[in-house]
Amino acid sequence: MPTPPAEPHAARRHVFLAIKIAVSIILLAILFSRIDAQRLWASARQASIVWLIAALGIYFFNVLGCVWRWRLLLHVQQIDLPRRTLLGSFLVALFFNNFLPSNIGGDVIRIRDTARVAGSKTLATTVILADRVIGLIGLVLVAALGATMVTGMAGHVPSPIWPSWLWIGFFAAMIAAAPAVLAPAGVGRLLQPLTVLHPEWVGDRIDSLTTALARFRDRPTAILSCFGGAVFVQVSIVFFYIAVAYALRIPVAPWDLAVIVPLSFVVQMLPVSVNGFGVREATFSFYFTRVGLPLESALLVSLVAAFLIMLFSVSGAAVWFARGHQ
């Protein structure tokens, strides 16, 4: 009996993955062809262990901030889960994000772990989407503030990223996100044409979505606190990179990192590479060389920081296997 052909969507998925791998390899190959790899490795080996440990400590506080923000959004939706449970779920999601060729895998874990208590996958998904959007807005705000500070500093090389672009992006994101909270019923009406696909199933999901958005609207203080938490998370990740730069003895200004670090995370969201490898390093290289720092410094900071994050995320594997034994 002949073997049935692979499903078209599976074939497309494999093609897209192959393209992502190719993009990451090509970009890294181009960057490494322009430096002395042995000197890069020698510089990495001379890194300060104390500062690298400090960087990991800062990253742990970053994770705690992410968990606090997630728990606050769940609380608004009347979903109560212990902090320890959410921390474990977030660590597993972090592991999946860093060791699977897509950031979506981690979100699937977080949705699955909260959907059972929420009684609705749609509600759990809405919370994750809200968390993502608020985090993105906080990220752009930190980048805009960093670029503004760099531009206003006397004797500093002007930021290659114009602050006005970042401020426009920040306010555009705020304006785009506002209707979802201020007028949830309008969002429901906007999605109503989708009910032609499956009236009952789609209609129930739209109702769950609008109900969740209405709860966010009724708790503006909680949303503002969540946004403050998002800013804290983005600032702490900048401090994480500052510690990495100190460990590597790279004289990059903290305000420059406040610009490039958030931008690198935005670039990594584009589904064109494997977990941001290649495009992240290219983004750091573009910025560092524009402010007078060598290409080697950009690659060192980017790759060492990525390695530390992956090392930290291994803790999520331990949580995952512990769940399996339970």
Mean pLDDT of all residues in 167-193: 87
Whether residue 165 is predicted with pLDDT greater than 60 in this model: the reply is yes
Mean pLDDT of all residues in 140-149: 89
Q: Is residue 33 part of a domain?
A: no
pLDDT band at residue 54 using 50, 70 and 90 as cut-offs: very high
Q: Is residue 238 part of a domain?
A: yes
Q: Where are the beta strands (DSSP E) in 59-172?
A: none
Q: Is residue 45 part of a domain?
A: no
The confidence score (pLDDT) of residue 8 equals 65
pLDDT band at residue 158 using 50, 70 and 90 as cut-offs: low
Measured distance CA(121)–CA(130) in Å, rounded: 14
What is the extent of the structural domain holding 204? 54-317
117-154 core/surface letters (b: 16 or more CB in 10 A; e: else): ebebebbbbbbbebbebbbbbbbbbbbbbbbbbbbeee
Element (H, E) at 210: helix 199-218
Residue-wise pLDDT tens digits, 224-255: 999 999 999 999 999 999 999 999 999 998 98
Mean pLDDT of all residues in 133-141: 93
Residue-wise pLDDT tens digits, 85-109: 999 999 999 999 888 776 667 889 9
Q: Is residue 155 part of a domain?
A: yes
Residue-averaged pLDDT of the chain? 88
Mean pLDDT of all residues in 184-193: 82
Cα distances (Å, whole numbers) of residue 220 to 75, 211, 223: 13, 15, 5
Whether residue 6 is predicted with pLDDT greater than 90 in this model: the reply is no
Whether residue 1 is predicted with pLDDT greater than 50 in this model: the reply is no
pLDDT band at residue 200 using 50, 70 and 90 as cut-offs: confident
Q: Is residue 102 part of a domain?
A: yes
Among residues 128, 111, 321, 141, the alpha carbon closest in space to that of 230 is found at: 141
Q: Is residue 15 part of a domain?
A: no
Q: How many domains does the chain have?
A: 1
Share above pLDDT 90 across residues of the chain, in percent, rounded to a whole number: 51
Q: Is residue 119 part of a domain?
A: yes
